[in-house]
Structure formats: structure tokens, C-alpha cells
Amino acid sequence: MSKKGSKSGKKQMVYFFGGGKAEGQSTMKGLLGGKGANLAEMTNAGLPVPPGFTITTEVCDAYNRAGKKWPAGLEEEVKKNLARLEKLTGKKLGGSSNPLLVSVRSGAAISMPGMMDTVLNLGLNGSSLKALIDLTGNPRFGWDAYRRFIQMFGDVVMGVPHHDFEHILDGVKKKYRRKSDPELTAEELQEVVAGYKKLYKGHTREEFPEDPIEQLRKAIDAVFGSWNNPRAIKYREINDIKGLLGTAVNVQTMVFGNMGNDSGTGVAFTRNPATGEDRFYGEFLMNAQGEDVVAGIRTPEPISELKRHDPKAYKQLMAIRKKLETHYRDMQDIEFTIEKGSLYMLQTRTGKRTAAAAVKMAVDMVQEKLITKQEALLRVDPNSLDQLLHPVFDPKAVSGAKPIGNGLPASPGAASGKVVFSADEAEAWAAKGEEVILARVETSPEDVGGMHAANGILTARGGMTSHAAVVARGMGKCCVAGAGDVVIDYKAKTFKAGGATVKQGDWVSLDGSTGKVYKGQMPTIEPKLSGNFGTIMSWADEAKRLGVRTNSDTPHDTAVAVNFGAEGIGLTRTEHMFFEGDRIISFRRLILVAEEVKDLRRALEAATGAGEAKKIEKNLKAPLAQYNKALAELLPLQRKDFEGIFLALKGRPCTIRLLDPPLHEFLPHDDAGQKEMARSMKVDVRKIKATVEALHEFNPMLGHRGCRLGITYPEVSAMQVRAIIEAAINVAKKGTKPGVEIMIPLAGNAKEFELQRDVAEATIAEIKKEKKLKKLPFEVKIGTMIEIPRAAVTADEIAKKAEFFSFGTNDLTQMGCGFSRDDAGKFLGEYVKLGIYEYDPFQVLDQSGVGKLVDMACKLGRRTRKNLKLGICGEHGGEPMSVEFCHRVGLDYVSCSPYRVPIARLAAAHAALKEKAAGNSRKK
Amino acid sequence: MSKKGSKSGKKQMVYFFGGGKAEGQSTMKGLLGGKGANLAEMTNAGLPVPPGFTITTEVCDAYNRAGKKWPAGLEEEVKKNLARLEKLTGKKLGGSSNPLLVSVRSGAAISMPGMMDTVLNLGLNGSSLKALIDLTGNPRFGWDAYRRFIQMFGDVVMGVPHHDFEHILDGVKKKYRRKSDPELTAEELQEVVAGYKKLYKGHTREEFPEDPIEQLRKAIDAVFGSWNNPRAIKYREINDIKGLLGTAVNVQTMVFGNMGNDSGTGVAFTRNPATGEDRFYGEFLMNAQGEDVVAGIRTPEPISELKRHDPKAYKQLMAIRKKLETHYRDMQDIEFTIEKGSLYMLQTRTGKRTAAAAVKMAVDMVQEKLITKQEALLRVDPNSLDQLLHPVFDPKAVSGAKPIGNGLPASPGAASGKVVFSADEAEAWAAKGEEVILARVETSPEDVGGMHAANGILTARGGMTSHAAVVARGMGKCCVAGAGDVVIDYKAKTFKAGGATVKQGDWVSLDGSTGKVYKGQMPTIEPKLSGNFGTIMSWADEAKRLGVRTNSDTPHDTAVAVNFGAEGIGLTRTEHMFFEGDRIISFRRLILVAEEVKDLRRALEAATGAGEAKKIEKNLKAPLAQYNKALAELLPLQRKDFEGIFLALKGRPCTIRLLDPPLHEFLPHDDAGQKEMARSMKVDVRKIKATVEALHEFNPMLGHRGCRLGITYPEVSAMQVRAIIEAAINVAKKGTKPGVEIMIPLAGNAKEFELQRDVAEATIAEIKKEKKLKKLPFEVKIGTMIEIPRAAVTADEIAKKAEFFSFGTNDLTQMGCGFSRDDAGKFLGEYVKLGIYEYDPFQVLDQSGVGKLVDMACKLGRRTRKNLKLGICGEHGGEPMSVEFCHRVGLDYVSCSPYRVPIARLAAAHAALKEKAAGNSRKK
């Protein structure tokens, strides 16, 4: 981008456009705003654009910084450009013969529709009004333009309440029994103008300005100032618009679509923004101004009808449509006006579109040779693909509905159902054929069955990586998590939210893409995947370097993910498997004796005499037998789990993480649950309570979990490794060789990893001996998760024995930033608002902090082991910005929940293409 | 160290000593063991050492690695050295005319007294016994030597139970009605020998070996093997002895102190090891062997009495004492034997000593010009200073007592008292003049008063950095923390431990230096600080580069620390101040409305209409008034706190940390406490319960605390800053300028720090305006703690605005390693045992992990700000190895609890001296 300097060597503050030439161009959006840059571009492209000039965003910034003062030289530049405009048009601002009227509009680099201010018909005063009436021979048009100007100027520039103007207008209408504005005569409008001027003076303590230069200066001030009005600030906050200097100001010759039946105005998209279909799409009104189209007083006609009203203009517009698409090589959103048979283009910009339309247009435009495949890929926002993969609410139904609660958009999609408050009830109701929504304060692994049975899950607590969120995303099921304003009462089987009380069995609707909770049943639209989607995905695979795997714990999820293009599993969490069916009983039996076994073994080690040792050995016998029995019960069940997953993967690699959560997560914490457990297992409830108490931790996140469990209970690790290897042998016999990757969780220390690796290797050696195998009929890799900061900074040591790293960025974020993901919701929102973090670090990887640890670990690890395999299996693995980061630091793959696999594939392609582009631009 | 190679180019396996010359020297302890190296050194120094040879520790290692086989060439080398020995002494092993007898002893590089095996009188068999009897003319001596040899050889080498030998000896004694061994005649001893040989054969299925070479080989095997006997392994584990290859074997000519009244044996220290006094100190027995001195059958005489028995030997010994001290330049622990008037030195080694003796000897030896000041400093173990600073139990009382429980040695010292179970009772009983021990499951800030009143604190839960431990160390008060086997029953007012039940009011005794808990009252010895202590400390200050500050929250602790040489405060925790007296009520009032204020403010920001905003503003009025009132109440109290501390510091710098713990820590969590709070504050108890519930966190360690509170409640930070600055102004008026350092806790992000810095600066500007000051009459620095891994890796960003860093290594260890300090006790012990961590990372800084983060932060921070001040205020600041690390990475100071200040000063001196020595040796 080149910035022209003015003669004085200072930066140019105003850019002229008109007469087939413009000083700006479309690449200058940062400086001229989107509107200004495109007006310039269209002018240069020979399109009929009313001439004008644009004051830069830099000027806005300087103005606001200087405490609302014009920078030196601006006045001069504005006057010079105004003179140029007057010369080009042959009109004069405020002139008494051929008056120039202008619009003054805001326009930032990123569109903020309706957020900032606009003044139309500027330049009108006593004498120019008279001239306008003389010229048009239409007093009503003149007086109407004037009253509109006074109202807009008074409201926007001087802060006279809009409502007060409307009040005067209504008064005159009432007086003359007029039902609508167009019915008012010129004389009646003159009365309105008088009332407006009086109101203006009463409010501002000055006369309405006659001097058009003063009008212009004040209007420009107002547009500059509107950059920082509260609603604009909020809009930028909500839409995450950052780093802009301010708004540009466009001063442009007015054209009028309301000069009679040979005039009109309209808006259009060059293709259908909802479907992507290659048809001109829009609407218009004859004898109307832009605001009339929006106001909805008259119903606009579809654009194809223009052919009937004004065939010449229509033909011209169709040519412009073609020209714009060829010029911009993308679908455009345009505004036009016809003034007495002449067509004028007021705006063009790249049109917003649905995900489906984006995909279709991208593929079509490649076939039309308008863009390359690479460009096509970059045209589709990876995040938007969510829309294509999950059901959404019918937009018509949503537009009227008021949500009763708000939570985190934890798992996308939309769902309606009758609300229930326990997993058991969810299963029972679903079995009866009911549509169900499961509402819980928070979920635990025990709830997985109920979550599966429900259409959607609502939790009152927990973040984007809470149990509910993670499991729901894995299932591709809609989930709204951590809805703080939803107060659940399990006893009463109700929840309260937004003033409403919802009872069990009442219909509720959840939007997992927005986090909104509605009362009642809302119609959903099921997603359909088009052939174009497959095309884009195949192009993405050609472009990307990163592998994309999935996080999956079941054969079903695995099959879904493989169908979405997953190249393997990056994370299988084995603990979820412990909850299914009867196995939870075996595992709980193990837990109940595990501490005892551990303590007695330690006592045995410390025993000084043979007598003492014998006594301890005797005491150890019974619990150890129970411990080993539980392990023996779990082994075949786990083996079967792994067989299913290996089969679903059809030879693709599979990273299986050994047991990770602390043992207390497998025990019930409430009295009723404990009693039920005691009854069903025939154990003293006091034993259960004592175990829960003994396992209690102040900060479980930093507690006895991950490989720390494996160190304390090596037999549990050994059982899991045995199940994995035996399953793989069984599957290999059926003809496909599984790619087995055993992952040790939560290692923070090389030695810790090595001890667990030793257990795995000894188990494998044992199996080989038992089965008389010289070598296994498949490859086994043993690696670790890097999720503790210490592991990241000592990755060179760990890589000596670890064959792969998988970054567990959820925990790495928790420990790296010192945020408990279950608690940080209390302040993280504010942190993002204050700009402490640009995004919630649990949603978007904190690249400058946690990312530095990841980068460091990659470099250190590969220093020791050149071919170290690197991946990520935290929730960030499916988030486009984070995927781009993973590409940049050289990971081999990302892994994410099944329904995010397409998003990750496209994001990986974007990352590769952007890198290439950056490399090319560096070469230049 | 130079290792001589044998002719074959292989490593030398055996080192000879004797005839005034030895192949080894004292620097070769690693290879020859302490005993072997010193025997060589003494030989070379011309002292009368019975000749012999030493088999190296490398041979032991090779032997054990090869599955208990002699390495090739060893047999040859041993025989060669034996021949040399026989030649030198003119005697022959097992010879029938002038027989050579030898001892075979273990000797590792680090002394492991009594842990490994020794065989004396080796070489005796039928013919050499006869020759011995002929030569000495003393059959009783001969037969006694032989029966001792058989017993030792049988027990040590062949595993014949010691008890069985004793049984035979007792039988003969009974038969002849002898009360003690010496009463047995030669003939009776001959009967014992016969019984011993029969026992030997019955147990080993072979005859007692006559071949002296076979005897020697087997004895050497036994010594090698004893390296890995369970008791030796356990000893090394307990005493943290790591990295040794094995034991050396010393084969040495026997000399006999039991050859009549012109013979004798003794042990001595060249100076008094208890007091350090420069007087020869030891004891001896005439006509006795070494084991008789130990056995306690006869009472040894003090060494000075030797003058009477053998003036020549005494004179010679005094000369040797002098010679050894001059040679070794340190106090020696020696063993000697007089055989028929000839003095032999059997051992010398640096003598163990008490801390008091170490200090006195170090200072004395400098005055004697024996050593330099630097050497003197290195002679005193920093950790040992604890003995001088705290009361200890009378060793006589401890030696008999069996502890009922064991915990962590959380705060050194010894204390007895009547046990109570609540802080209130502790205060009440102490007020009545009782000596009290406070026992709690864990302590919280509410207990501080009771802790102060108690003589010692016992907790059942929590680690070395738990609340109880930290506070007790600050108070210099004995504390045993996390005693897992102590089960406290608050209701019954008892605790159970080691099978005993202790009721309220029963006496218990705690040793905070060992972690042991005793029942009953145990006499303590109060510490006394000598002038020598001051001398060593002043030398330490000359040698050290690191500054030493203290962690202190009260004027009293500050004064104690300054008295111990603290150069300022590195950490004042302001939260402890919130608990005193009525201020807790003000603070609780603030907490009860804080959430409401926060939520309403957020709602106000989000309000879209003026009406809504007005409504919210109205609702905000009452809670905001209460919030501000509480702050206003706290301000003068905090100001007074800071004034006291500034005055106690007399102008030394003071780092004050703003509020750190999560708010829920200030509220009672039990029902009774909440009701009491409701009653005393006249608040609805439901409001309190709701607040506790709202503030509950799953992982409070990673929760809403530190500067996160300051971000949410900037007024709290502002109040604290105001209190600090106003206090400093008041103190400055009195004549001393305080060095004010305001520390923002828990910053993980530069922006987070900057927002809090802005609050502090705005407050300071406000105060200057109010007081009409152009500048403050003292310097103010604003810095942060580095305690979150993210802060360490983004330290360059943070240093842009932070003037100092203080490493909070407690939290940095928690988050860096992923260990909750309150929970990790469950597995950390095992982790240290398994060598995963060399030390508990909460006690000794984990240099290779957490230390790497510290090092990184130092480098990054100084890259942005060259003169960035760096310190540490975690508990590691008073731990010698960690202090050395702090020196190495270039910190400016360490900060520790008052009673550890002298330890840190000495450790800092050690660090500087070691660095210098390493630099010198590198230069060489």
C-alpha cells in the first residue's frame, strides 16, 4: 500500500474521488474505511459513482486524541477538496442557483452497520432550498429534503432528541389529518420545518446554521465523535473488532431516488447470500430514498422487477454486477440510486453470507475460473462450518424469541426437549420415546449415559472444557454450559432462569452455538452436507501440512470422525470406559482397597524385623486379592473397548491415554449415592465415606492423578497396557495392523515418564513371552502428554525416552496461567473485556504465554529426538487460530472432537496457505 | 585427582600402604573410601599405621555388577599386595612361625558407621594359632583371638546366626560358672572354639576354613556384599547418601591392645566435639580390644589418664594430635591401639561436631592461623545453625523416648505443653499461665492468635508450606505439620496416634526439627548465641554477594529478623493483618457486599437504556456505601500496621504484597463459625452461607486471588496503596526514609500488572495532590511476584513496567510442577524415594524444572530492564541449596523467615565462596 504525501510532506488527510478517477483504491481500507476505499475503487473502475472525498481514519484518530480538535491543515484540505467537487459537479454547496447537496457518512475499515452517524442533504439553507425547488420544480421534494436534513443534523450532530422531532411531525400530521408522511403537502412540511427550527433553537440555544461550511464542519465532527459513542464501543466489543484507528468520513454528492417515477433506490447482492446460487438478488423501490427501503413503509420489489420499471438501468446494473464480480473476484453487496433515469453506485462491499453459501460460491467461482482453489479455501471461515454440521433453529422462530438464560456455547447445534434433572431420568424418558434435555448443575462421568440419551445438555456451572462440554462435543451434541443465571433445584425438579420457573417435563430449547436457553419448543433445521462441502474439504487436504486426528473414546465417535476425515485418534480417554455398565463396580472395588494396599506395601518396605513383615504380609493378603480380582475383571472389558476402536480406525494410528482423573472422581460424593453404592456392592457405607474423605483434595487439579496414579498403582497401568496390546494383537489377526500409541498422562519429570514406560515395556515383554511372539505384528510407540509447565521446560530430558509428545493444552493453560478452568469463569470474562487476554485462553490458545511453553517444548524435544512426533489433543486442537499456531510451531497433527474435524482440516489449510503467502511476500 | 594405572594399562585395583609410604592419599576418598584414603595419608605423613592395602570402590562396583564375581586380575593384585605386606612385616598369613593376622574392613567414601561388615584376626588356623601362642606365651589370648575370629567370620561371612554363637559361649560360661567372658580360661575357650566349629559345620555344611587365602577371599566377598545389605541401603536412604560406587575393602595388619597391661586401645577427638573447646577429648582401656571400648563391659578412662599408664604413648599421641590437626587443618576423630608399648594409629577422619562446636572451632582455627576465614565459613553447615537458634530437647530424654507420631519438620525447635484443640482455648489457657500445644487438623488465618499463644503447633494435614508451617516459621515457633498418623477428634477433644489416645490437657512434646511427636513432657535446652556466632556471621557478610531479607508481617518479627541481620523485608503479607481484632469484621462486611457490587457494576456497564441504568444505580447505592465504609475503616488500621513495620526497619527496604488469598479464606466455613459471625455482625446467616457458596472454588489455588482480586476490586488495592504511602509519609516525617516496594501478587500477564500499577500510581498521585507534595520524600518501587509459569516465560513483557521481581517459588512450584502443596504429601514422599525428585520440591527448589523458569525469567526480565531488581520470597529463600542456586542465577537477594536469616546469610557466603573456588579451578 502506498500513501501519497501532500505537497508539504505531511500525510494526505483527504482523498478525492470523481470524474472517473480517484486518489484511493480498495486496498486502502485501513486508511479510507471500507466504504471510502470501495467508492474510490469503483470510481477508478469507471462505474457511475457520485463524486466526493474521504477524510482518513488517521484524521479521526488525531481528532479524538487531541480532545476533539481538527489537526492542522485539515480545514484547508477539506476546503480544497470541496472546491474540486464543486468544480467537477458545476454546483456550489449552499449555492443559490445550482446548489450542491452532500451526504456525510462514517465508514470504518470493518463494517459496523447502523453504529455510527450519517447526515444527508447537507448544504441546504434558505437560499439553496429555494434554488433546489426552482430547479426541480417540486416544492414538496425541497421542503421534505430540508426537514429531513434539519432532523438528522439536529439529532446526530447536536443531540436534539429524535423523539422531539417526531413529536412535531406527528402534531402537524394530526392537525391536517394526514396518516403518513408522504401525504403531507409542501405547505404542511414548511410548518414542520418551522417547528423543527424552533425546537433546534430551544435545545441548542443557537439558530439552525445557514452557513454550509459550518454545517459541514459540525457534521464531520459528529461522525468523528460517533466512533466513541457507547453503542459503537459495545458493538466493537461484541464483535471483537480491535486495532482500528477510527472511522473515515465520506463527503459525497447527494443523488435522489425520490425525484419521481424515473428515480429509485435499491440494495442487492451479486449472488444469493443465503444459498450461494449465482443469481442477482436484491430489492428496490421507485421514487424513494434509501431509508425508505429500510423503514418498511412500502414493500420493496424484487430486483428482477426493475427490468419492467427501467430496462436501461436494469441492463446497466446487470453489467455492473458482472463487472464488480470480475473486478473484486467475490460476491458484492451493493447500494444504488437512480436519479431521473441515471444510475449511481453508492456502495459496494464484499457481501456477508451463510456458511453454505460461502462453500457453494467458493467452489463455483473456482469452476468459473474467477479464483484459485487456494483463494476458495480462504473464502470459507473454518468456524462457520459448524453451521453445516449441526442442526440450527429456524431463524424465523429465533428472531422473535427472548432467551430466559445465557451460558457458554459449549457444543454447537440446536435442540429442544422436555427438561429432566438426572441422567437416569433422561435415559428412562428417552427409552419411552420422549425428546429430552438434561439439565444438571454440572455433569460427572456417571452422567454419560443420560447425556447420550438427551437431545441437549444444560449445565449451570463449568466452562468450555468442563466435563459436560467435552463429552457433548465428542458426541456432537448440543450443550450450553455454565449458565450462571440458571438456578437448578434438584429436589423440586425445577430450574429458575430469567424470572421463569421451568418444571420437569416442560419444553426448553438450547442453542449450543450461541449459549442461549429458551422456554418452549423451537423448530430446528437439520444440516445437509453438499457435494461442494466435500470438494472444499478435499482441496483443504491438498493444501494442508498438519495432520488432523480426533479425540474419541468409543467406536461410534471414531467412525463419525473418520467419516469427517480424521486421520487417526489423537486422544482416547480410557477413564470414560470405566463408567459403563458393571465395570464401575469392579473399579470401585479396586479403589476401596487401593489405599490400603498402598499403605501396607509401604509399611512392608519400612518393616525392620521379619516378624513385623510377616504380620503385614498377612494383613495385605485379603485387600491385595480384591485389588487383583478387580483388575482381572476390568482387563477383558478394556480389551474389548480397544478392539472396537482399533477396528473403527481401520489401521489409522491411535493414541491411548492411560488413566488420568483422580480416583475420587469415580466415587459418589453425595450421601444418597454413597448409600446406594454400599447397598449394591454390599460394603459398609462408612468404608465408602472414609475412602472419599481420604481421597479428598484441596486442589484436585494439582493432585494425585495422571501418571502419579500409575506410579502409586503400577498394576493399573500394566492392566491397561495389557488390554491395549492384547486388543491390538486380536485386531491384527483380523487383518488390519493398528497403529498403537500408548500415552502416559501428566508427566512432569523425565524419570516419572521412564518409570511408567518401564511398566509398559515389561508388560509388553510379558505378553510376547506368553504368546511366544518374537515381535509384535504392529508398531507400538510410547509417549507422553506435555501438560505440566515443568514438562515443557524439561522436554529435552523427557524426549530421551518418549517417542511422541501430545500437548494437553487444557491443563497446560490451567497450570501455565494459573487458572482453574472450573473457577476462572468468575473473572475471565472481565479479563477479556479489559484486554488482559485477547481471548478466553481455554477457547483460543494463549499463544504468547502457553504457546511459548509449547514452542519451547517442541524445540527442546526435537533437540534430543529429531523425529519426535508432536501433536495437540487439548480442546484448542479444533479452534482455527490455535490450529494455525500449531502449524507454525511445527506440530505433526492436531486432534479435536469428531464434529470439529472438518473445521480443523480447513483451518490447517488456511495456516499452510497463509504461511505460503507470507513467504511469497517476504520474497518480494 | 590422579589415578595410577597398573602396568597392563588397566585401572589399579589395590593400593598399598606401609613402611612410611602409601600409594593413596586423602584426596582419593571416592576410590579408596574415607578410611583407606586416610590410612594412606597418615602413612605418608609418617604416622605409625599398621601396614596393609585397600581394594578400591570401583572393584566393589564391578563385583556387584558382575553378579558377585571378582573382576579379572583382582586375585593376582591381592596376592601381590599380600606378598608385599608379608615382606614388609616379615610375617606370613597363616604362617606357622611368625603369623600375620589381618583385619578386613569396609570403608566407603562417606562414613556409614556400623552399617557394613568387619572381620578381625583373619589368618588364624591351627598352625598360626599355635605360633601366636608360642610367640606371645599367652594361650588365653590366642584362643580368645581364635574364637572371636570364628564367631565374626561365621556370622559376617557365612551368615551363621550371631545368637547361636552367643548360646554356645553362654553354655560354657554357665558350665564353669563364669560371670563374664574375661573370666574364661584358655582351656574353657578351647571348648568354646570346638563348639563354634561344630556350629559352623552344622550351618554351612563345610569345615571352618584352614586356608588363610580362602578366609581372605571370603571375607572380601562379604564386605563387598555388605554394601547392598538392607540395613546399609536403608541407612543411605535415610541419610540421603547417593552416587557412590560401593565400599572399599581395607586389609590391614592386626595390632592387639589386649596383649597385657602394656597394651591398650582408645578413641579420641582432637578437640571437644560438643563444645569445640581446644582440648584433647577421648577415652581408652588398657589391655583391651576396640570392641571392648564399645561393648561397655569395662568403663573406659578419660584420655588424660593415659599419661599415668603410659607416659611415652601419651606424649606420642599428643604430638600426633598436633600433627594431624596441622596436616588436616581440622578436628580429627581418631582410633589408636598400643601393642606392648608401641602406639599404632588405626583411623583418622574429620570429626563430627555440634553446630556450636563447629562455630567455635572455625573461629578458633582462624585465630590459630590454621585456616582462612573462607575455610572457616565452609566448615559450618548453614542448616546446622538451626540448633543454635531454637530450643532442643535434652538428648538424654530423647534417646529413650518412642514417638507416638511423625510429621513434617515444619518449623524447627522443641516444645512441650498441654494439648488443646482450638485457637481460642490456646489463648485462654496461655492467659492462665499454662504451657500449651495447639493441635489442629490444619490451621487457617483465624488461628494465628492461638498459634502465637502456644509453645508449638501440631497439624494432621498440610505440607512444609502450609499455613501452619509458614506462620510458625515466621514466629520462630516449633511446628510439626501434616502428621498423617495423628487423628484429631475435635468433638471429643482428643487425638489418637501410635495407638495412644491423648486428651485435652495431656502433655505432649513436639520436635519441629525432626517432625517427631512424643507423649508427656520433655525437658528442653534453650539456645545460647556465642560471640563466635557473631564473628562467623560477620565473615559471612564479607564473603556473600546476595542480600538477605526477611518475610515478616509484624513489627515484632521484623525486629527479630533485623537482629538476625536481615537487610530489609522481602515479603510482607498484608492479609494476615486483616485478621487482627475488629478489622476482620470490617473486612467481612466488605466481602459480603463485594460480589453484589461487582455484579451490579457489570450490569450497569451492560445496561442499554437510561431507565435500566438508573434502576441499577439505585440498587447499587446501599451495597456500595457499605463497601466504601468497610474500606474506610480498614485504611487507618493498615496504615498503622505499615508504620510499625517501617519504624522497625529503620530505613531498610520493605516489599509489601497487596492482598493475595481468595476472599473465602476470610469467612468461616463451619456452621458454628457462620452462626457466630451472623450473630456478632447482625447479618442473616443465609447471606453468609450464600456468600461462602458463591465464593467456593474447585481449585482455590488457581482461583480468584492475587491481583485478580485487585482487578475485580481496584478499590481494595487503592486502599492498601494509600495505607502504605500515608504510613511511609508519616514515618518519613519522624526522620527515617522508608524504602517502599509495592508488590502486585500473582500477575501472569503484563497487562494485568500494568492495570494494577495504574491503580497504585493514580492513588499516589491523589495523595500527592491532597498533601500538596511535588514528590514523595522517599523512593517507591512497584514490582510483581513471579509465581505463575506464564509470568516467567513472558517476563520480558512484564519487566517493561515492573521495577522488581520477587520469585514466589511456593506457587511457582505448585503450578510449575502441577503439585498442590496441600495434597501432594500423599505421593511426594514416594516420589523422592523413587528418585523422581531428588528432594521434596517444596523444601529444596527443583533447580532443573522450576529453577529453569526462574532462570529464564531473570534473563528475560533483565533483557528489557537492565537494572531490574530480583529476589525470592518463597520458602526456599532460607534453604541453603536453593540459596546457592539464587546466587548462581544472579538474584539480588533472598528473603526468608526471621529465624532462617542467619542460615541464609551463611548459605549465601558458601555460594559466593564455592563460585570463587570453581572459578579458580577453571582458571587452573
Interface test with A, best of B811, B819, B842, B859 (most A CBs within 10 A): B819
- C-alpha torsion angle, residues B324, B330, B332, B338 (rounded to 10): 10
pLDDT of residue B389: 87
User: Does the distance separating the beta carbons of A831 and B788 come in below 8 Å?
Assistant: no
Chain centroid to Cα B849, Å, comes to 21
Of A637-651, B591-605, B708-722, B784-798, the range with the lowest mean pLDDT is B591-605
Interface test with B, best of A237, A699, A704 (most B CBs within 10 A): A699
User: Does the distance separating the beta carbons of B816 and A788 come in below 8 Å?
Assistant: yes
Interface test with A, best of B461, B597, B823 (most A CBs within 10 A): B823
pLDDT of residue A295: 59
> How would you classify the pairing of strands A102-107 and A248-253?
antiparallel
Rounded to the nearest integer, the mean pLDDT of chain A is 91
Q: Which residue of A has its CA nearest to B697?
A: A823
Of A377-391, A593-607, A775-789, B675-689, the range with the lowest mean pLDDT is A593-607
Q: Tell me which chain B residues have a C-beta less than 8 angstroms from the C-beta of A815.
A: 702, 789, 815-816, 818
- Backbone φ and ψ for B55, nearest 5 degrees, come out as -90, 135
pLDDT of residue A22: 96
Q: How far is A250 from chain B (nearest CA, A)?
A: 29
Rounded-to-integer distance, Cα A380 and Cα A360, Å: 10
For A622, the grid coordinates are 485379603
Q: Which residue of A has its CA nearest to B818?
A: A702
> Is B414 a residue whose pLDDT tops 50?
yes
Which among A602, A746, A852 is the nearest to B818, CB-wise? A746
Q: Which residue of B has its CA nearest to A746?
A: B818
pLDDT of residue A609: 64
Task: Calculate mean pLDDT across residues B725-733.
Answer: 97
Task: Calculate mean pLDDT across residues B160-168.
Answer: 91
Q: Tell me which chain B residues have a C-beta less than 8 angstroms from the C-beta of A849.
A: 748-749, 790, 793-794
Q: How far is A519 from chain B (nearest CA, A)?
A: 23
Task: Calculate mean pLDDT across residues B869-881.
Answer: 95
Task: Calculate mean pLDDT across residues A189-203.
Answer: 96
> Is B3 a residue whose pLDDT tops 50?
no
> Is B873 one of the annotated active-site residues of the chain?
yes
User: Does the distance separating the beta carbons of B849 and A790 come in below 8 Å?
Assistant: yes
pLDDT of residue B1: 39
pLDDT of residue A714: 96
pLDDT of residue B130: 95
DSSP run (H or E) holding A727: helix A714-733
Active-site hit among B478, B654, B707, B873: B873
User: Does the distance separating the beta carbons of B830 and A702 come in below 8 Å?
Assistant: no
User: Does the distance separating the beta carbons of B790 and A849 come in below 8 Å?
Assistant: yes
Active-site hit among A467, A664, A876, A910: A467
Interface test with A, best of B599, B691, B790 (most A CBs within 10 A): B790
Nearest to B385 by CA among B359, B347, B350, B415: B359
pLDDT in tens, A15-61: 999 999 999 998 999 999 999 999 999 999 999 999 999 999 999 99
User: Does the distance separating the beta carbons of B815 and A789 come in below 8 Å?
Assistant: yes
Q: Tell me which chain A residues have a C-beta less than 8 angstroms from the C-beta of B602.
A: 830
Dump the DSSP string for A746-773: T--SHHHHHHHHHHHHHHHHHHHHHHT-
pLDDT in tens, A493-513: 999 988 889 999 999 999 998
> Is A534 a residue whose pLDDT tops 80?
yes
> Is A236 a residue whose pLDDT tops 60?
yes
pLDDT of residue A4: 46
Instruction: Show the CA angle centred on residue A785, arms to residues A779 and A787, nearest 5°.
Output: 170
Tell me which residue has cell 394530526.
A174
Q: Tell me which chain B residues have a C-beta less than 8 angstroms from the C-beta of A811.
A: 818
**Band of the pLDDT at B815, cuts 50, 70, 90?**
very high
- The DSSP letter of residue B12 is P
> Is B54 a residue whose pLDDT tops 90?
yes
User: A181 with A147: CB under 8 angstroms?
Assistant: no
Which among B748, B752, B836 is the nearest to A751, CB-wise? B836
pLDDT in tens, A78-124: 999 999 999 999 999 999 988 999 999 999 998 877 667 789 999 99
Rounded-to-integer distance, Cα A689 and Cα A679, Å: 13
Q: Which residue of B has its CA nearest to A694?
A: B826
User: Does the distance separating the beta carbons of B751 and A816 come in below 8 Å?
Assistant: no
Q: Tell me which chain B residues have a C-beta less than 8 angstroms from the C-beta of A698.
A: 700-701, 820, 822-823
Q: How far is B644 from chain A (nearest CA, A)?
A: 34
Active-site hit among B327, B390, B452, B467: B467
User: Does the distance separating the beta carbons of B702 and A823 come in below 8 Å?
Assistant: yes
**Band of the pLDDT at A2, cuts 50, 70, 90?**
very low
> Is B6 a residue whose pLDDT tops 50?
no
Percent of chain B with pLDDT over 90: 71
Task: Calculate mean pLDDT across residues B801-817.
Answer: 97
ipTM confidence score? 0.83
Active-site hit among A60, A479, A873, A886: A873
Q: How far is A914 from chain B (nearest CA, A)?
A: 26
Rounded-to-integer distance, Cα B674 and Cα B687, Å: 10
Q: How far is B850 from chain A (nearest CA, A)?
A: 7
Percent of chain B with pLDDT over 70: 97
Distances (CA, A) of B280 to B287, B317, B881: 22, 10, 34
**Band of the pLDDT at B778, cuts 50, 70, 90?**
very high
User: Does the distance separating the beta carbons of B602 and A849 come in below 8 Å?
Assistant: no
Instruction: Show the CA angle centred on residue A450, arms to residues A445 and A454, nearest 5°.
Output: 130
Alpha helices in B801-891 (DSSP H): 809-817, 825-833, 850-864, 880-888
> Is B10 a residue whose pLDDT tops 80?
no
DSSP run (H or E) holding A739: strand A739-744
Task: Calculate mean pLDDT across residues B433-449.
Answer: 88
**Band of the pLDDT at B858, cuts 50, 70, 90?**
very high
Q: Which residue of B has its CA nearest to A708?
A: B827
Q: How far is B535 from chain A (nearest CA, A)?
A: 41
**Band of the pLDDT at A444, cuts 50, 70, 90?**
confident
The larger pLDDT score, comparing residue A609 to residue B802, is at B802
User: Does the distance separating the beta carbons of A712 and B830 come in below 8 Å?
Assistant: yes
pLDDT in tens, B336-381: 999 999 999 998 989 888 888 999 999 999 999 999 999 999 999 9
pLDDT of residue B500: 87
Most confident of A8-17, B113-122, B220-229, B716-725: B716-725
Q: How far is B696 from chain A (nearest CA, A)?
A: 9
Task: Calculate mean pLDDT across residues B52-71.
Answer: 94
pLDDT of residue B297: 60
Rounded-to-integer distance, Cα B862 and Cα A650, Å: 54
**Band of the pLDDT at B295, cuts 50, 70, 90?**
low
The larger pLDDT score, comparing residue A797 to residue A514, is at A797
Q: Tell me which chain A residues have a C-beta less than 8 angstroms from the C-beta of B752.
A: 831, 836
Q: Tell me which chain B residues have a C-beta less than 8 angstroms from the C-beta of A704.
A: 823, 826-827
> How would you classify the pairing of strands B569-573 and B547-551?
parallel
Task: Calculate mean pLDDT across residues A305-316.
Answer: 95
Of A163-172, B27-36, B172-181, B236-245, the range with the lowest mean pLDDT is B236-245
Furthest C-alpha separation in chain B = 121
Q: Which residue of B has its CA nearest to A749?
A: B836
> Is B133 a residue whose pLDDT tops 80?
yes
**Band of the pLDDT at B5, cuts 50, 70, 90?**
very low
pLDDT of residue B770: 97
> Is A873 one of the annotated active-site residues of the chain?
yes
Q: How far is B797 from chain A (nearest CA, A)?
A: 10
User: B574 with B656: CB under 8 angstroms?
Assistant: yes
User: Does the distance separating the beta carbons of B602 and A711 come in below 8 Å?
Assistant: no
pLDDT of residue B465: 67
State the amino acid at position B777 in one-letter form. Answer: P
Rounded-to-integer distance, Cα A636 and Cα A723, Å: 7
Of B291-305, B366-380, B824-838, B901-915, the range with the lowest mean pLDDT is B291-305
For B431, the grid coordinates are 492467659
Interface test with A, best of B597, B665, B702 (most A CBs within 10 A): B702
Of A598-607, A809-818, A859-868, B45-54, the range with the lowest mean pLDDT is A598-607
Q: Which residue of A has its CA nearest to B848?
A: A794
State whether residue A914 is helix, strand or coil.
Answer: helix
Rounded to the nearest integer, the mean pLDDT of chain B is 91
pLDDT of residue B181: 80
pLDDT of residue A6: 43
> Is B644 a residue whose pLDDT tops 90?
yes
Most confident of A220-229, A248-257, A687-696: A248-257
